[in-house]
Structure 1
Amino acid sequence: MRKHIYNIIALAVALLFASCAEMMNDARDAEIVAPITVSFKVDINSFTAPDGSTAEAPEEWYDDLEVVFNNFSEGIQTKVRLAPDGVAEAEIIPGIYNITVRSTQRYARRQYIINGLKQNVAFVEDMPSIDERNTLSIQPVMDSPLCIREMYYAGSPGGYFRDQFYEIYNNGNEVVYLDHFCLAHLVPEYATTSLPEWPAEDGTDKYVYAVTLWQIQGDGDDYPLQPGESVVVAQEAADHTKIETWAGFGLVDTSKADWECWSGNEQRINTEVPDLPYVFWSGWIMTMQWLTSVDGSAMALYQPGQNLAFGSDYWQVGTTTQCQVGGSGQQYVRIPVGDIYDAVECVPTAADLDMKRVPGILDSGAATVDGYYNGRSISRKVASRREDGSPIFQDTNNSTADFEVCDSPVIRRHDVKRPAWSVWAE
């Protein structure tokens, strides 16, 4: 019996040894991925100074810059400091990378945001020399007091979507007049890796393009928004928690929104809430309701400086509108990046960051609720508070970092105030 046990043990040891030897052979046969060394150049373009003149980036702006190489497929992130000559040298494995540069700098007592993104760059071998493939040009943008504070776009469980809303907040220290501001729904309407091509004369990252434009119209001083106050733009102003449809109930009471986006359906009007008119709508106008993608859209706050009108002579191809190269001739709003006060990019899931359509100078990241019809919203993180207790929200032009996902949407969370001129002010 004892001999039989010894034989079993000997056989087990032999099998274990053979298995280990095979694993070692497999490990030796596995392909070894050798790292490569790549150079990456960062150029900061001239920008508009607070007095309206053209300014060049001071040399010290380059001192604090960090270049981040993200390989999302492998889950690898590499950070490298920029050298004084504006070149970063990184040791990475071959692959497809998104490269980002983010910083805030001061100039003439104003804060500027340095935000840059170069997407889907293939690094397959050492790249010591500099060309357009490994160069990122960044346009500094003056920090804006206005921001999109919360977005609820995903819809509620059961497929209800009419309670979508967008909250606009004064994150600065001075009053901002909302007259003429537009809420722009940017192109493409849906996140995609196949971005449209625009005419060469528009350059790179100088414009964004919108499919719809809704405007707060006034005489220039009708709608003051004080620091710590917000306004709410609803798809449809109603108490959706009491509306039952085939898709179930909504989650949000938007009946006391400041504006609703009315697109022509007489049966869906809240007479107590002012209509926010559309001043541009590309293609077929959905008169039943305005709906943004429940997968996540890209939205922007845009200031054209005047009241606009749908179908007016203001809209001219190559100036205020533009057509895609190789397209059908359909026009979209052509918006200079310098006229954008805030932009927020949303994508379907965290794995879809390669589907960005907003230039990195406006938003170098993207927010997501990881799905749709899940009742979640995105809300800016509280960075600090003013002396009166009102919140100051994080706004680094990087929606990945600036927003948190909330299990349920809330209008004016974190003690945000309502403007005194609101019809609902107490």
Structure 2
Amino acid sequence: MRKHIYNIIALAVALLFASCAEMMNDARDTEIVAPITVSFKVDINSFTAPDGSTAEAPEEWYDDLEVVFNNFSEGIQTKVRLAPDGVAEAEIIPGIYNITVRSTQRYARRQYIINGLKQNVAFVEDMPSIDERNTLSIQPVMDSPLCIREMYYAGSPGGYFRDQFYEIYNNGNEVVYLDHFCLAHLVPEYATTSLPEWPAEDGIDKYVYAVTLWQIQGDGDDYPLQPGESVVVAQEAADHTKIETWAGFGLVDTSKADWECWSGNEQRINTEVPDLPYVFWSGWIMTMQWLTSVDGSAIALYQPGQNLTFGSDYWQVGTTTQCQVGGSGQQYVRIPVGDIYDAVECVPTAADLDMKRVPGILDSGAATVDGYYNGRSISRKVASRREDGSPIFQDTNNSTADFEVCDSPVIRRHDVKRPAWSVWAE
């Protein structure tokens, strides 16, 4: 019996050594990826000062600026500090990277957002010299008092989507007049790594382009929005929790929205809620409804400074509209980034951050509810409170960090107030 046990032990030891030897051979056969050293330069462009003059970035803006190299396919993130000469050196493995720079700086008592993103850069060998491939130019943007506070676009678990809404909030300390502000639905309408090409004269990251444009029209002082107040723009103003369709019920009562994006369907108009007119619609106009992608769209809030009219002479190719290079000639709204107060990029899932459409100077990240028809919304995180208790929301022009995912959409959550001029004000 003892001899039999010894034999079993000897066999087990032999098998163990054989397995270890095989693992060592496999390890020797595994290709070792040698790291490479790359240089990356950051240029901060001149910008518009609060008094309207042109200003240059102070040297201290470059101090201790962090450059982040993201290799999404490998799940690797490398952070390095910028040297005084504006160049960062990083030791990384070869691969495809997104490079981001994020900071907030002050100039003439105003805060500026320093956000930059360079996408899908291939680093395959050491890159000690600087050229356009490893240079990122950043346009500082003055911090905006207005922000898109909550977006519900994903639809309900049953497949209902007519209760989409967008909430616009005064996150600043002074009244903002909403007259002439536009809600822009940016192109591409769906997240993709194949971005359209625009004419060279438009430059890089100087404009964004919209497929539809809805405007709050007024005389300039009709719609004051006080700090801590918000307005709600609904796809269709109705109590969707009581509307049953083949897709089930909706999740949100938007019947008391401040505006609805009605686009011509007489059966679904709400006469108690003002229509937000569309002033531009590229291509075929969907007169049944305005629907943004349940996978997530890119939405911007901008101020052209005047009331606009659909089909008017205001729309001119090369100035207020633009066509894609190699396209069919279809026109899109051409929006200078300096006119944009807020932009929010949404992508289908967290794995799709390489599908960004919005320039990094406006939104260096992207928000997601990780799917569609799941009833979730995105809502800005509360950063602090004013003396009156109203919330101040996080807005660093990085939607990945600024938003949280909510299991259900809520209009004016966190005790946000309604403006006194609203038809629904108590």
Question: For structure 1, which runs of at least 5 residues remain unmatched after alignment?
Answer: none
- Over residues 27-59 of structure 1, what are the superposed CA-to-partner deviations in whole Å (9 max), with x where a residue is unaligned? 111111111111000000000011111100000
Q: Distance in 2 between matches of 1:192 and 1:247?
A: 27
3-state DSSP class of the match of 2:5? Answer: helix
The aligned runs of 1:394-405 (5 Å cut-off) are 394-405=394-405
In the alignment, which residue of structure 2 is the partner of 1:9? 9
- State, as a whole percentage, how many aligned pairs show the same letter: 99
How far is the alpha carbon of 1:64 from its aligned partner?
3.1
Q: Distance in 2 between matches of 1:66 and 1:10?
A: 58
CA contact (8 A) 1:181 1:304 kept: yes
Q: Distance in 1 between matches of 2:156 and 2:192?
A: 23
In the alignment, which residue of structure 2 is the partner of 1:422? 422
3-state DSSP class of the match of 2:14? Answer: helix
CA contact (8 A) 2:47 2:55 kept: yes
- Over residues 255-302 of structure 1, what are the superposed CA-to-partner deviations in whole Å (9 max), with x where a residue is unaligned? 000000010111111110000000000000000000000000000001
How far is the alpha carbon of 1:303 from its aligned partner?
0.2
In the alignment, which residue of structure 1 is the partner of 2:189? 189
- Over residues 322-367 of structure 1, what are the superposed CA-to-partner deviations in whole Å (9 max), with x where a residue is unaligned? 0000000000000000000000000000000000000000000000
How far is the alpha carbon of 1:4 from its aligned partner?
1.5
How far is the alpha carbon of 1:2 from its aligned partner?
1.5
In the alignment, which residue of structure 2 is the partner of 1:142? 142
How far is the alpha carbon of 1:79 from its aligned partner?
0.7
**CA RMSD after TM alignment:** 0.5
- Over residues 81-134 of structure 1, what are the superposed CA-to-partner deviations in whole Å (9 max), with x where a residue is unaligned? 100000000111111110000000000111100000000111111110000000
How far is the alpha carbon of 1:175 from its aligned partner?
0.1
How far is the alpha carbon of 1:22 from its aligned partner?
0.7
Q: Distance in 2 between matches of 1:62 and 1:9?
A: 66
Q: Distance in 1 between matches of 2:143 and 2:59?
A: 20
Q: Distance in 2 between matches of 1:381 and 1:392?
A: 9
Q: Distance in 1 between matches of 2:18 and 2:77?
A: 38
Q: Distance in 1 between matches of 2:56 and 2:164?
A: 42
- Give aligned pairs, total: 426
Q: Distance in 2 between matches of 1:91 and 1:192?
A: 29
In the alignment, which residue of structure 2 is the partner of 1:122? 122
How far is the alpha carbon of 1:9 from its aligned partner?
1.0
3-state DSSP class of the match of 2:9? Answer: helix
- Over residues 177-214 of structure 1, what are the superposed CA-to-partner deviations in whole Å (9 max), with x where a residue is unaligned? 00000000000000000000000000000000000000
How far is the alpha carbon of 1:73 from its aligned partner?
1.0
CA contact (8 A) 1:67 1:80 kept: yes
CA contact (8 A) 2:99 2:119 kept: yes
CA contact (8 A) 1:320 1:334 kept: yes
Q: Distance in 2 between matches of 1:327 and 1:26?
A: 51
Q: Distance in 2 between matches of 1:6 and 1:104?
A: 71
User: Normalising by structure 1, what TM-score?
Assistant: 1.00
Q: Which stretch shifts more, 4-13 or 317-326?
A: 4-13
CA contact (8 A) 1:376 1:409 kept: yes
Q: Distance in 2 between matches of 1:163 and 1:64?
A: 45
3-state DSSP class of the match of 2:89? Answer: strand
3-state DSSP class of the match of 2:16? Answer: helix
Q: Distance in 2 between matches of 1:82 and 1:384?
A: 30
How far is the alpha carbon of 1:21 from its aligned partner?
0.7
User: Normalising by structure 2, what TM-score?
Assistant: 1.00
Q: Distance in 2 between matches of 1:177 and 1:8?
A: 86
Q: Distance in 2 between matches of 1:228 and 1:101?
A: 30
Q: Does 1:78 align with 2:78?
A: yes
Q: Which stretch shifts more, 19-28 or 276-285?
A: 19-28
CA contact (8 A) 1:64 1:103 kept: no
How far is the alpha carbon of 1:8 from its aligned partner?
1.4
3-state DSSP class of the match of 1:254? Answer: coil
Q: Which stretch shifts more, 62-71 or 326-335?
A: 62-71
Q: Distance in 1 between matches of 2:89 and 2:269?
A: 58
CA contact (8 A) 2:64 2:83 kept: no
How far is the alpha carbon of 1:74 from its aligned partner?
1.0
CA contact (8 A) 1:185 1:210 kept: yes
In the alignment, which residue of structure 2 is the partner of 1:392? 392
3-state DSSP class of the match of 2:63? Answer: helix
Q: Does 1:260 align with 2:260?
A: yes
How far is the alpha carbon of 1:12 from its aligned partner?
1.0
CA contact (8 A) 1:212 1:278 kept: yes
Q: Does 1:177 align with 2:177?
A: yes
In the alignment, which residue of structure 1 is the partner of 2:25? 25
Q: Distance in 1 between matches of 2:249 and 2:411?
A: 18
Q: Distance in 2 between matches of 1:175 and 1:65?
A: 33
Q: Distance in 2 between matches of 1:80 and 1:9?
A: 53
3-state DSSP class of the match of 1:351? Answer: helix
